Amino acid sequence: MKHMSPEQLAPLAGFTVAVTAARRADEIGGLLERRGAAVLHAPALRIIPLADDSDLHKATLDLIATPPDTVVATTGIGFRGWMEAAEGWGAGERLRDALSGAALLARGPKATGAIRAAGLRERWSPASESSAEVLQRLLSEGSLEGRRIAVQLHGEPLHDFTNALRHAGATVVPIAVYRWTAPADLTPLDRLLDAIAAGTVDAVTFTSALAAIGLLRRAAQAGRTTELAGALCDRVVPACVGPVTAAPLLEQGIPATWPERYRVGALVRHVTEKLADSVPVLMSGGHRLEVRGSAVIVDGRLRPVPPGPMAVLRALARRPGWVVPRADLLTELPGGGADEHAVEAAVARLRSGLGSPGIVQTVVKRGYRLATAAR
């Protein structure tokens, strides 16, 4: 493998990041791979195609029959998809007519663009791109009693938003553009749960609340809720595109994190920063070690390390120079281990993987430690 300085290595080289998105998974995965990450695809939900969505078709026809007073467009892709589906059903012109007499509020610039592309005009859009500010605007207009408000949803149910409007007296018509269900094939999700348990995943990304719910639900079905929550609260970074997406995780006490800007690109940068912050950098036996997810950078050279030996290294790295007994290291191995011979085997593989046996020292009858003095 070519010798490189740490600055030349891709920022996510040696890390594995899971992508739970069903839509835009290739885009997210590509961004992560360009930063050097190994990507594990595990869609946590499945999209029902718009053309086949009988619920959306019925909701659209009902809205045409009884036009709304106000329409809230939450996403550009959702609003545009709704218009395209209506065209496919032969109801495009009638839907535009029904919406043209309503006050159109756009949550952000993409929703604004979709409204204008449909030949309509928005009345207002917040600079913050926040649903909360849209809600505040509606509630500040006075009584909503008798107002018929259509809310175009896309992935996120926005229960707090719609319930607040109902409590203010409005009749709320949710327009769920794209509906979600469990994946037809649950194998990738089960593999993700296995990888999380084995310690071979460093971060899991979520771009919708329903993706987070999908993973939590599958873990519950498999009897692995405690295992999943424990990993996401410890070594695995649960990275969300925004606070709405993070809500199901936060409700379970999982410390989800998100970027300041609620965008996919910002999410990838956020993952990069969070993983970089978690990297221990050590000097051991005259070598510079940077301990990443599934690899160690030794003097600028990226060296893959299997899960068992990596678990041993992490335990030693927590207290450099201190002797760690074999019995303690045994508990760190994935799945435990049959006896202390498993520790010896893991240490042998670790030394081989690091390319320098002197980094890990044996202390006779006591255990192992990371060398601290230069050779």
Q: For the chain, give the longest Cα–Cα distance.
A: 83
Which range of residues forms the domain containing residue 53? 49-174
Q: Do 67 and 168 sit in the same domain of this protein?
A: yes
Sheet holding 103-106, edge to edge: 103-106, 70-73, 148-153, 171-176
Q: Do 170 and 157 sit in the same domain of this protein?
A: yes
Q: Do 139 and 158 sit in the same domain of this protein?
A: yes
Q: Do 40 and 103 sit in the same domain of this protein?
A: no
Q: Which of 174, 194, 219 is the endpoint of a domain?
A: 174
CB burial readout 328-356, b (16+ within 10 A) else e: ebbebbeeebeeeebbeebbebbbebbeb
Closest CA to 312 of 243, 368, 256, 254: 368
pLDDT digits over 68-106, tens only? 999 999 988 889 989 998 999 999 999 999 999 999 999
Amino acid type, 33:
E
- The SS3 assignment for 259 reads coil
Q: Do 58 and 166 sit in the same domain of this protein?
A: yes
350-353, long-range: CB < 8 A, 24+ apart: 350/305, 350/309, 350/310, 350/312, 350/313, 353/296, 353/303, 353/304, 353/305, 353/306, 353/309
Residue 1 belongs to some domain of the structure: no
pTM of the model: 0.72
Q: What is the dihedral of CA 220, 226, 227, 233, to 10 degrees?
A: 120
Closest CA to 152 of 217, 203, 77, 233: 77
Q: Do 299 and 237 sit in the same domain of this protein?
A: no
Residue 375 belongs to some domain of the structure: no
The CATH number of the domain holding residue 55 is 3.40.50.10090
- The SS3 assignment for 166 reads helix
C-alpha span between 161 and 165 (Å, rounded): 7
The alpha carbon of residue 97 and the mean position of all alpha carbons in its chain are separated, in whole angstroms, by: 39
Closest CA to 80 of 53, 52, 129, 115: 115
Q: Do 63 and 40 sit in the same domain of this protein?
A: no
In tens digits, what is the pLDDT along the chain, a chain of 375 residues?
445 554 468 999 999 999 999 878 999 999 999 999 999 999 998 877 666 688 889 999 999 999 999 999 998 888 998 999 899 999 999 999 999 999 999 999 989 999 999 999 999 999 888 889 999 999 998 889 999 999 998 766 788 899 999 999 999 999 988 777 889 899 999 999 999 988 899 999 999 888 999 999 999 999 999 999 999 998 899 999 998 789 899 999 999 999 998 889 999 999 999 998 888 888 988 899 999 999 999 999 999 999 899 999 999 998 888 999 999 999 888 876 567 889 999 999 999 999 988 999 999 989 999 997 544
Residue 204 belongs to some domain of the structure: yes
- Number of compact structural domains in the chain: 3
